[in-house]
């Protein structure tokens, strides 16, 4: 069996170009890529089981890393255990990642034949495999350090070292806490063109299965221990969990996510140009807030150094406000031409256009864009490509006297028929003057590295053949689900909410706000949504094998699920819940875990779905209360069903019920046929205490050598469904118990006397 755990991170709009974090110490070198490490601790024979497992894992990893939005995957094989990792840099894309990872594994086999531990580093990717399980720890083992030659000459070496460290610290914090993909790029201006290295560029990255805190600690440990002596103009240090790199040239793709320092003066003139005939707007990325923090950010377009003299005179005192205001002024004065077109200075992008946006941020009744420091009405332009509508969303923006609290982020998201620019305002209450909250709700969830997309209703209609019955996959309480296909061939699941269901819309917004911010290989991926009039539609990745209940409760299809497949499903669900409860950026209680909400991909890997009832749980709270008990009877914990008290232990209870259903092939709800026990839980406990647990096992499972594993899972399930939440394990405990080789140290469930009375399944 091969178990693959993919990570999460959205690939950027830039193209191929990626690098990774590597493993195992090499001496400093300046040679060409690739760099490899051949472990000397152990070797395998060509005919060994290790070789067979290695072939299987390495064959699957390139494909899984490429299909992951994180460009990251890990794998493990059974018996002679093999653990492997593949990671591409966060600014790469799928095809480039696939080519690099496949080539790296091939190179590993040639350069280090029969070594059990091998690492290969390219500028585009990193791969590593070992007989030791490095997946379960956060230790950044097997570090590699590379230094560039020649070294920097002249200047203040101590000052230069401090600048490098400040750059790396900023990039590390951005990777750990500022991006979803645990990847960041940064640039630091050293203030003078006469400096030995006028501009420095850095990159930091963690494997996306780390928590944010672990990522920060890993990078900081690397930076603190790195030999930054002030003479090396470029270096990198990396390990199996995190790594950094800095150079005196822009080695990554696209604009940096973080800018530090002040750029040197530049005298080059920018030339105005006519707007593009294709009407394709460029990515607009302006951070006024960063100016208040002493950082610099590109203004609305790279015309910072071509401001008129009266504006340039003010630049030293308030450059971030004046530059943006001047760019807006220029756009308003020249409605038929771009405000600025090209700038060849160091660090600025070439051929960057600001589309003519008449009235953008112009205060109504004012003659220009520079009088925007007072409280007034601003306008945010939402442009959708060639064949789509142009919408203007009016908002009220209160502006304090000393600080402009407007922070605009726009970006370009390619779709099938055009280019979409989405604008988000952080820290501001966004309401449409027409009373339509849909657009503002959606805009607030966007961020620069989100994979979330706003679809046109016409696109959804085309994808589902106008919601034809032939495309219909099923129907629930709040709407129907259809199979769809996008113009690029991608198959999707389209959930169309009932237009008359208020609760359905509440769940729609809840799901967007939650799952769009959560990414894990065992959570279903929300690709986007569509809002038009009363239509509220969610678009998910399509799962070929439908849901778990489709198999385990069908006497014919249940035979397709061997015990190994069922155990893989159990472990995957446990990993998904552990991510929600502990490792995600939000601490989430699902509240509706059940067999029909576990979707199965082509390889029968589980993905938790339907987050409409999920709740964000305070990290300081043990439990919380709700006045509205929602969910599915039969899976509800007793304290939640009777008192409305929920916690992470609520999900643990549901997991225990689901585990018993997977083992037995019977539903908890409607289980009446066994004497006085009105549900599956009571029946399972009766068999357990009488030593007849094997009678619980699904008859479609043939006699195998997995009896101890099945017994272990029944033990864990009964612990999860204990009446008192205090007695139930956490999902961290569950994952640990599932990995135990024996049952000798496994706790026993407490006696369950009240199940026949309390749990009449509905």
Which among 483, 517, 541 is the end of a domain? 541
Q: Are residues 553 and 663 in the same domain?
A: yes
Which among 541, 573, 597 is the end of a domain? 541
Q: Are residues 519 and 601 in the same domain?
A: no
Q: How crowded is residue 161: how many other Cβ atoms within 10 Å of its Cβ?
A: 16
Cα–Cα distance between 382 and 727 in angstroms, integer?
A: 52
* Residue 11: CATH number of its domain: 3.30.430.20
Omega within 30 of 0 (cis) for the link into 459: no
Counted domains in the chain: 5
Can you read off the two tokens belonging to residue 583? 């490792």
* Residue 627: CATH number of its domain: 1.10.510.10
In a domain, 689, yes or no: yes
Is 592 catalytic? The answer is yes
Please check whether residue 478 is in contact with residue 503, taking contact to mean a CB–CB distance below 8 angstroms.
Answer: yes
Q: Are residues 127 and 152 in the same domain?
A: no
pLDDT at position 68: 52
pLDDT at position 463: 93
Q: Which domain holds residue 131?
A: 3-136
Determine which one of 592, 610, 651, 698 is catalytic: 592
Q: Are residues 165 and 196 in the same domain?
A: yes
Determine the distance from the C-alpha atom of residue 235 to the mean position of all C-alpha atoms in its chain, rounded to a whole number.
28
pLDDT at position 201: 93
Please check whether residue 212 is in contact with residue 176, taking contact to mean a CB–CB distance below 8 angstroms.
Answer: yes
Q: Are residues 56 and 74 in the same domain?
A: yes
In a domain, 270, yes or no: no
pLDDT at position 612: 77
Cα–Cα distance between 122 and 145 in angstroms, integer?
A: 14
Of 102, 133, 128, 103, which is closest to residue 115 (Cα–Cα)?
128
Please check whether residue 696 is in contact with residue 679, taking contact to mean a CB–CB distance below 8 angstroms.
Answer: no
DSSP H/E element including 656: helix 648-664
Q: Are residues 199 and 250 in the same domain?
A: yes
Q: Are residues 38 and 57 in the same domain?
A: yes
Cα–Cα distance between 148 and 166 in angstroms, integer?
A: 20
Cα–Cα distance between 516 and 451 in angstroms, integer?
A: 8
Omega within 30 of 0 (cis) for the link into 34: yes
Which among 524, 541, 558 is the end of a domain? 541
Torsion of CA 540, 544, 545, 550, to 10 degrees: 60
DSSP structure string for 24-85:
S-------PSPEEEE--S-B--TTSHHHHHHHHHHHHHHHHHHHSTTSEEEEEETTTTEEEE
DSSP H/E element including 121: strand 118-121
Q: Are residues 599 and 694 in the same domain?
A: yes
pLDDT beneath 70, residues of the chain: 1-32, 40-41, 63-80, 149-155, 191-198, 229-230, 262-451, 476-478, 499-505, 516, 618-631, 670-678, 703-705, 751-762
Q: Give, rounded to a whole angstrom, the gap between the first and last alpha carbons of the chain.
A: 38
Of 579, 589, 745, which is closest to residue 653 (Cα–Cα)?
589
In a domain, 703, yes or no: yes
Cα–Cα distance between 336 and 374 in angstroms, integer?
A: 27
pLDDT at position 140: 80
Q: Are residues 751 and 671 in the same domain?
A: yes
DSSP structure string for 669-735:
TT---BTTB-SHHHHHHHHHHTT-GGGGS-TTSPP-S-HHHHHHHHHHHHHHT-SSGGGSPPHHHHH
Q: Which residues pair with 383 in a beta bridge?
A: 390
Q: Are residues 44 and 163 in the same domain?
A: no
What is the model's pTM?
A: 0.46
In a domain, 280, yes or no: no
In a domain, 276, yes or no: no
In a domain, 272, yes or no: no
Can you read off the two tokens belonging to residue 81? 């255990």
Of 93, 118, 92, which is closest to residue 34 (Cα–Cα)?
118
Q: How crowded is residue 626: how many other Cβ atoms within 10 Å of its Cβ?
A: 13
In a domain, 730, yes or no: yes
Q: How far is CA 665 from each of CA 338, 426, 553, 649, rounded to the nearest angstrom?
A: 65, 49, 5, 24
* Residue 490: CATH number of its domain: 3.30.200.20
Backbone angles phi, psi at 126, to 5 degrees: -135, 135
Torsion of CA 733, 734, 736, 738, to 10 degrees: 160
Please check whether residue 379 is in contact with residue 392, taking contact to mean a CB–CB distance below 8 angstroms.
Answer: yes
Q: Are residues 105 and 126 in the same domain?
A: yes
In a domain, 277, yes or no: no
Q: Confirm or deny that 495 is annotated as ligand binding.
A: yes
Q: Are residues 42 and 191 in the same domain?
A: no
């Amino acid at each position: 069996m091969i178990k693959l755990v993919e990570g999460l991170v959205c690939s950027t709009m830039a193209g191929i170009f990626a690098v990774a974090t590597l493993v195992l110490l090499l001496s400093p070198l300046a040679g060409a890529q690739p760099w490899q490490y051949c472990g000397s601790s152990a070797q395998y024979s060509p005919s060994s089981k290790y070789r067979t497992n290695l072939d299987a894992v390495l064959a699957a990893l390139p494909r899984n890393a490429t299909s992951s939005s994180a460009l990251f995957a890990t794998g493990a094989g059974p018996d002679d255990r093999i653990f492997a990792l593949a990671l591409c840099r966060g600014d790469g894309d799928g095809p480039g990642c696939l080519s690099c990872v496949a080539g790296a594994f091939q190179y590993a086999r040639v350069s280090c034949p029969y070594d059990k531990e091998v690492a290969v580093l390219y500028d585009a990717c990193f791969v590593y495999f070992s007989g030791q399980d490095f997946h379960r720890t956060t230790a950044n083992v097997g570090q590699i350090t590379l230094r560039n030659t020649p070294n920097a000459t002249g200047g203040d070496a101590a000052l230069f070292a401090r600048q490098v460290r400040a750059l790396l610290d900023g990039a590390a914090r951005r990777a750990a806490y500022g991006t979803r993909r645990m990847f960041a790029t940064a640039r630091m201006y050293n203030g003078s063109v006469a400096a030995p290295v006028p501009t420095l560029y850095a990159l930091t990255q963690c494997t996306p299965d780390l928590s944010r805190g672990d990522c920060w600690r890993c990078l900081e440990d690397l930076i603190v221990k790195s030999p930054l002596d002030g003479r090396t103009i470029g270096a990198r240090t990396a390990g199996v969990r995190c790594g950094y790199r800095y150079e005196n040239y822009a080695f990554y793709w696209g604009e940096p996510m973080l800018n530090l320092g002040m750029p040197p003066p530049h005298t080059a003139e920018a030339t105005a140009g006519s707007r593009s005939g294709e009407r394709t707007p460029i990515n607009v990325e302006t951070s006024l807030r960063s100016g208040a923090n002493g950082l610099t950010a590109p203004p609305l377009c790279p015309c910072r150094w071509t401001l008129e003299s009266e504006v340039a005179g003010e630049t030293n005192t308030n450059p971030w406000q004046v530059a943006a205001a001047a760019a807006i002024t220029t756009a308003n004065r020249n409605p038929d031409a771009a405000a600025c077109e090209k700038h060849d200075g160091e660090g600025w992008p070439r051929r960057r256009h600001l589309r003519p946006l008449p009235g953008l941020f112009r205060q109504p009744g004012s003659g220009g864009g520079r009088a925007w420091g007072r409280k007034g009405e601003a306008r945010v332009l939402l442009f959708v490509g060639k064949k789509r509508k142009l919408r203007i969303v009016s908002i009220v923006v209160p502006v304090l006297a000393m600080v402009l609290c407007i922070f605009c982020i726009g970006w370009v998201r390619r779709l099938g028929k055009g280019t979409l620019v989405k604008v988000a305002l952080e820290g501001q209450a966004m309401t449409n003057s027409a009373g339509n909250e849909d657009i503002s709700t959606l805009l607030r969830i966007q961020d620069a590295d989100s994979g979330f997309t706003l679809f046109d209703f016409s696109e959804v209609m085309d994808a589902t053949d106008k919601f034809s019955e032939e495309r219909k996959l099923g129907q629930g309480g709040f709407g129907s689900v259809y199979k769809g296909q996008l113009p690029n061939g991608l198959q999707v699941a389209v959930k169309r909410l009932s237009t008359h269901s208020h609760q359905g819309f509440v769940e729609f917004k809840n799901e967007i706000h939650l799952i769009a911010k959560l990414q894990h290989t065992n959570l279903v991926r929300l690709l986007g949504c569509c809002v038009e009039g009363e239509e509220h539609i969610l678009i998910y990745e399509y799962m070929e094998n439908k849901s778990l209940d489709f198999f385990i409760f069908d006497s014919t299809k249940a035979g397709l699920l061997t015990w190994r497949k069922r155990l893989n499903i159990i472990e995957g669900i446990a990993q998904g819940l552990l991510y929600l409860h502990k490792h995600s950026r939000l601490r989430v209680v699902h509240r509706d875990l059940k067999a029909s909400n576990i979707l199965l991909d082509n390889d029968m890997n589980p993905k938790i779905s339907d987050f409409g009832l999920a709740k964000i749980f305070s990290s300081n709270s043990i439990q919380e209360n709700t006045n509205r008990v929602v969910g599915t009877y039969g899976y509800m914990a007793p304290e939640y069903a009777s008192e409305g008290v929920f916690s992470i232990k609520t999900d643990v209870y549901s997991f225990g019920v689901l585990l018993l259903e997977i083992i037995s092939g019977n539903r908890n709800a409607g289980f009446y046929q066994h004497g006085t026990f009105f549900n599956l839980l009571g029946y399972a406990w009766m068999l357990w205490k009488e030593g007849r647990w094997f009678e619980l096992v699904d008859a479609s499972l043939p006699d195998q050598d997995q009896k101890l594993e099945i017994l272990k899972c029944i033990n864990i399930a009964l612990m999860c469904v204990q009446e008192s939440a205090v007695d139930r394990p956490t999902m961290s405990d569950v994952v640990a118990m599932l990995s135990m080789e024996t049952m000798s140290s496994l706790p026993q469930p407490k006696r369950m006397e009240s199940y026949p009375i309390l749990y009449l399944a509905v």
